[in-house]
Amino acid sequence: MLDDLDPYTNYITEEDIEDYRFQTTGKYGGIGSTIRKKDDYLCIGEPYENSPVIKAGMKAGDLILEIEGRSTKGKDIDDVSKFLKGSPGTQLKLKIKDAFTGEESVKTIKREEINVSSVPYAGMVGANKEYAYVRLSQFTERCTYFVRSALDSLKKANPGVKGVVLDLRFNPGGLLDEAVNMCNLFINGSQLVVSTKGKNAEWDKEYKTTGSPWDEKMPVVVLINRNSASASEIVAGTLQDLDRGIVIGQRSFGKGLVQTTRNLVYNAKLKVTTAKYYTPSGRCIQMLDYSHRNEDGSVGHVPDSIKTKFKTKNGRTVMDGGGVDPDIKVESKDALKVIAALNAKSLIFEYATQYVKTHPTVAPASSFQLSETDFNAFVTWLEGKDYSYETRAEELLSKFKEVSEKENYFQAIKGDYENLRKALAADKKQDLMKHRKEVTLALQEEIISRYYFQKGRIENLLQSDPELAAATQVLGDQAKYNQILSGK
């Protein structure tokens, strides 16, 4: 029944309630780890710090052979994930194959309430560590409290803090009230943050800040990317509309719809889209038009011809219908095919396991770097392993062949085509060397997470983060910061 509506209107069955609860609270009952495919079985992917998995002596890469005596061979991730989740305090027996020794054993794990923090990392950044940085992964219950607490701690330890970087990259959104509260950290009370409008007047509401701000004058930068959506866009769009902060990164996802949850029989729920939301300037950032479907059922972008200009508090021009455009754009590199192929075959993951086996300790996450010798060892380890993929040039050549065959001139150029195909064909090692910097960073990120978990992964990535570099640069140039916000 819901398939003809927008993708955010969902029927949530009783067995999926745990996942829904996790999305809104960041909590669930389970073993505290992601899981991933490894050959015919599944393995521990990324354990959370101090989780039941860690307490049971398990680690990333350990194979899960059986759950309560049932083989996991051939099972998919969703099926196994439901078995692993359950009420806190209940026990679970897993038959495990150790990633280091290959030994099999049975582990008894006691499920706990897993609380995945919405603030996985906070710290000081900049050349002189003068700016407070907070990463927010999702707008779950009380996330504003956790952000404020992180900022308080950073300011207490660093009284001379000169600015704030709020990182909303890859943040899919969440609770609308928390987005309003988040804006209230930097904006005084009684300020309109967002309004909603639906087909029924009951959904027409205004949401204003109500409390005292954490700091309404300190310079603020918000980082966004293509995966920043919904509540993330409310915060970024509102601070932009009110000229309270500078937005840096790539254009956001473009989800300007509000969902309301209703209880149904059999402990199920219906999450239904009830309204669109509008930032203080009056713009709606919804990018896709679900109300007008094409004959094949697909939907199109809001056309440029009907996009409207709006003005920020200081008179800067912003547009609706296309997500939040950053004030400073930093082009992101699409995932390189060589890295995508290595990840698809779990080769980066597996090499990280081998690395940890032979390196009991490493440098702190903030300074850990793989050497050229480490990279060369990875290249040697890859020899004989398949991570084939089609380059962009090979894709275009295949399309050229397809078109030339349709137009009946392929036979005349077949020899030239074959020579060109062979010349392009996959010297994957050469591609590896060409992108050694990017591959090294991807490998480094996976390795450091084995020692310092998600917090270490983020801290290590900040060493070579172009968006963060742009943020600290503009925060260090007060004249440029003021110029951007003034629109002059």
Query: What are the residue numbers of the active site?
Result: 230, 241, 255
Q: Which helix (H) or strand (E) holds 130?
A: none
Task: Tell me the C-alpha to C-alpha distance, in Å, between residue 121 and each of 29, 143, 404.
Answer: 23, 13, 53
Task: Tell me the C-alpha to C-alpha distance, in Å, between residue 205 and each of 197, 200, 208, 283.
Answer: 7, 11, 10, 15
The alpha-helical segments, DSSP class H, found in 42-196 are 52-55, 77-84, 143-157, 176-184
Please tell me the distance from the alpha carbon of residue 350 to that of residue 428, in angstroms, as a whole number: 19
The CA R_g of the chain, rounded to the nearest whole Å, is 25
Beta bridge mates, 207: 194
Quickly count: other Cβ atoms within 10 Å of residue 363's Cβ.
Answer: 11
**Three-class secondary structure of residue 355 per DSSP:** helix
Q: What is the dihedral of CA 215, 220, 223, 224, to 10 degrees?
A: 80
Please tell me the distance from the alpha carbon of residue 75 to that of residue 78, in angstroms, as a whole number: 8
Q: Which helix (H) or strand (E) holds 163?
A: strand 163-167
406 contacts: CB under 8 Å, gap ≥ 6: none
Q: What is the dihedral of CA 415, 419, 420, 424, to 10 degrees?
A: 150
Instruction: Select from 274, 275, 273, 267 the least CA-distant residue to 12.
Output: 267
